[in-house]
Structure 1
Amino acid sequence: MSGKIKLGLLAGTISGIALGLILKVIQFTTGKLVYTLLLNIDFIPIIGSINWPELIEFVFHLIISLIIGVVFSLGSSRFFSNKKVYQAIFAYVLTLPTVFLYFPLTYLAIKPTPDLFDLVAIGYWTIGHLIYAAILFGVYALNEK
């Protein structure tokens, strides 16, 4: 397996776990259902009707994070080699769409999630994903050869 793919998998794993833990702590301390929203797949046909254990739902979340990590690693090495500022910007650009996923994920959810226009929950969701992008870049930058 390519070193850049391995690095992307590492960065995606660590940043995905961090995002999950951050949103879980936020949900536990505030009652805002941002972690539930992160793991929610109940609106997806067939697999959404299954009552998955939290660990499996978290694995689904990590799969998406692994894909983002690999895309980030390959894109950074190809287009922004040794250009840390551009790599950091790229991490945020890749993560930006996930911030806006708050709205369709909330709208489509069947089980309870934050209100569609809950500004506090949107803020927590956004902060969590901004930290995700920083960790994605940080892990990559620290391990890039």
Structure 2
Amino acid sequence: MKRTLWAAGYGLIGGLILTFLFKWIESATGEKVYTFLLNVDYIPVVGDIAFQEWIEVLFHLVVSVSVALGFYLMYRLRPSWEKRAITICTVGSVIIGISLFPTTALSDRTPEITDGLSLLYWLLGHAIFGAVLGTLFRFET
């Protein structure tokens, strides 16, 4: 149980880093990666509600913790992956980022699906999120 709580904490740390990174990128460049990170427009019923920013950040952090717990479960099932934690978490997070990027087409507030610079920032941010998770997992072992 203690390790599960640590894994959840790692997801919280990684999620906060990603939140602040994307907020900074959006304010510095105008690329709407922070807006996209918090976007729930495409989710039925939920997308019709105008949430305050802090609630949208909480939604993102719940997803970040869930991803971290998913990676932790993978390690529990395959202990040999511990030595490749950084690589596995980074690649896995980039794959998640790639799979989420097409949802940008479902909202008028987010970058265009053809916006290559936003895609680059999006994937780099997710790679950093994964590297942070993997690094924290490595410190635990």
| TM-score (structure 1 length as normaliser) | 0.89
Per the TM alignment, residue 125 of structure 1 is displaced from its structure 2 partner at its CA by 0.6
Partner of 1:8, secondary structure, is helix
Matched with 2:88 is 90
Match of 2:103 in 1: 105
Query: Once the 2 structures are TM-superposed, how far is the Cα of residue 56 of structure 1 from its aligned partner?
Result: 0.4
Q: Distance in 1 between matches of 2:41 and 2:82?
A: 40
- In the TM superposition, what whole-angstrom CA distance separates every residue of 1:107-128 from its partner, at most 9, and x where no partner exists? 112x321111111111111110
Unaligned runs of 5+ in 2: none
User: Following the alignment from structure 1 to structure 2, what is the Cα–Cα distance between the partners of residues 43 and 82?
Assistant: 35
Return the structure number with greater helix share: 2
Question: In structure 1, what is the Cα distance between the partners aligned to 2:106 and 2:116?
Answer: 18
Structure 1: which 5+ runs fail to align? none
Equivalent residue runs for 1:1-145 within 5 Å: 2-81=1-80, 83-84=82-83, 86-109=84-107, 111-142=108-139, 144-145=140-141
Stretch of structure 1 that moved more, 10-19 or 95-104? 95-104
- Bigger drift between 92-101 and 126-135 goes to 92-101
Give the residue type in structure 1 aligned to 2:115.
D
Question: How much is the aligned-residue C-alpha RMSD, in angstroms?
Answer: 1.6
Number of residue pairs matched by the alignment? 141
Question: Matched residues, percent identical?
Answer: 33
Q: Tell me if structure 1 keeps the 8 A contact 2:85–2:135.
A: no
Q: TM-score, normalised by structure 2?
A: 0.91
